[in-house]
Amino acid sequence: MAGDEAAIRARFGLGWPGFRLDVDLALPGRGVIALFGHSGSGKTTLLRCLAGLERAADGYLAVRGELWQDEAQRLFVPTHRRPLGYVFQEASLFAHLTVRRNLEFGLKRVPAASRRIPLDQAIALLGIEPLLDRMPGRLSGGERQRVAIARALATSPRLLLMDEPLAALDVKRKQEILPYLERLHAELDIPVVYVSHAPEEVARLADHVVLLADGRALAVGPIGEVMARLDLPFAHDEDAFVVIDARVAAHDEAYALTRLEFAGLPLWITGLDMPLASRVRARVLARDVSLALTERHDSSILNVLPARVVSLDEADPGRTLVRLDVAGTALLARITRRSAAQLGIVPGRDVYAQVKGVALLR
């Protein structure tokens, strides 16, 4: 991705006693990039470097062809001159201004010529029309956060930074706001760097993941890849899963099923009320995948996919975690160690993955 005008290049090294951030990242210039990692791993520090709120002595940052920092030539665009939106855990709205005035206030520093996202569009995207005349004190936490996101968007940022925007909300409010975030993703061409430590959120929203540990990027890559890496903690979670991006290929009305398709393969799921060709993201849990050596059709399992064993992890004495390649898409299977031995599961072996459950993420 180096040299790619459409990408984000970020290199920062800075720290204080007890912590050092040291990253050199090549990221896609579109979609949602999740910064994931334990508390104290450096997520907020990295976000602040991207925003120009921290200045790394040897830092470099180019966002889709625009240079925001290059210390080699002593270039550093200050935060207020960077076209970026920053959404925090708690929305900071002016309490004495209505929602509408808050939105207009946010626009003040943006010259009319650089407003690519009309205020009306931002309002519509976040569904906040009914709130425009309210005072912030009369909004729920989720509503406030939607206003804060609309305010950030209306400034037409070239980069949107979100620091755990849902962390302060309860589960119900989170569920309410996620569809709006998904809409941003589908309808706007702005890269979003999204800090989270909730795997479900990351799985729903992210296209790309940066896993941080002790200030370093332990893994960087497309979500489907990173979640399935056996050398990373995700795959070892009790609820480990992979995400599969697919499209709606057909509906079987008689049996109330929908056939999704990914990499030319079918994936049946409980009937969806979605038009053909819609893009969806599905989740398959490692524990819902079993393996067979032949393509059996004498079981109740609907989804049987040809797969190749890529690698195994036997850290757990009773169970084997198997990473599979299904026509270029990664899948995880968790089976007993005894089954793995009896079936002769070794890297390179062709098998059939029996998928017991597929859930829709978005």
Ligand X SMILES: Nc1ncnc2c1ncn2[C@@H]1O[C@H](COP(=O)(O)OP(=O)(O)OP(=O)(O)O)[C@@H](O)[C@H]1O
Positions touching ligand X (CB under 6 A) are 16, 19, 37, 39-45, 197
Shortest separation between residue 35's beta carbon and ligand X, angstroms: 8
Q: Give the shortest CB-203-to-ligand X separation in angstroms.
A: 18
Radius of gyration over every alpha carbon of the chain, rounded to an integer in angstroms? 23
Closer to ligand X by CB, 197 or 216: give it: 197
- Give the C-alpha separation, 340 to 25, whole Å: 37
Rounded to whole angstroms, the Cα distance separating 283 from 216 reads 28
- Of 40 and 266, CB closest to ligand X: 40
**Tokens at 325, concatenated:** 């390649």
330 Cβ partners below 8 Å, 6+ apart? 224, 225, 227, 228, 242, 310, 323, 324
Beta carbon of residue 176, minimum distance to ligand X (angstroms, whole number): 23
Residue 126, sorted as left (phi over 0), alpha (psi -120 to 50) or beta, turns out to be: alpha
Residue among 50 and 246 whose Cβ is closer to ligand X: 50
**Least separation in angstroms between CB 16 and ligand X:** 4
Give the shortest CB-38-to-ligand X separation in angstroms: 7
3: alpha, beta or left? (left if phi > 0; alpha if psi -120 to 50) = left
The residue among 39 and 294 lying less far from ligand X, judged by its C-beta, is 39
Helix (H, G, I), strand (E, B) or coil at 48: helix
- Least distance to ligand X, CB of residue 58, Å: 18
**Amino acid in the structure at residue 111:** P
| C-alpha 322: how far from chain center | 24
CB-CB contact of 205 with 178 (8 Å): yes
Q: Which is nearer to ligand X, 44 or 156 (CB)?
A: 44
Of the two residues 215 and 224, which places its CB atom closer to ligand X in the complex?
A: 215
Q: Residue 94's closest CA among 54, 136, 66, 133?
A: 136
Residue type, 8: I
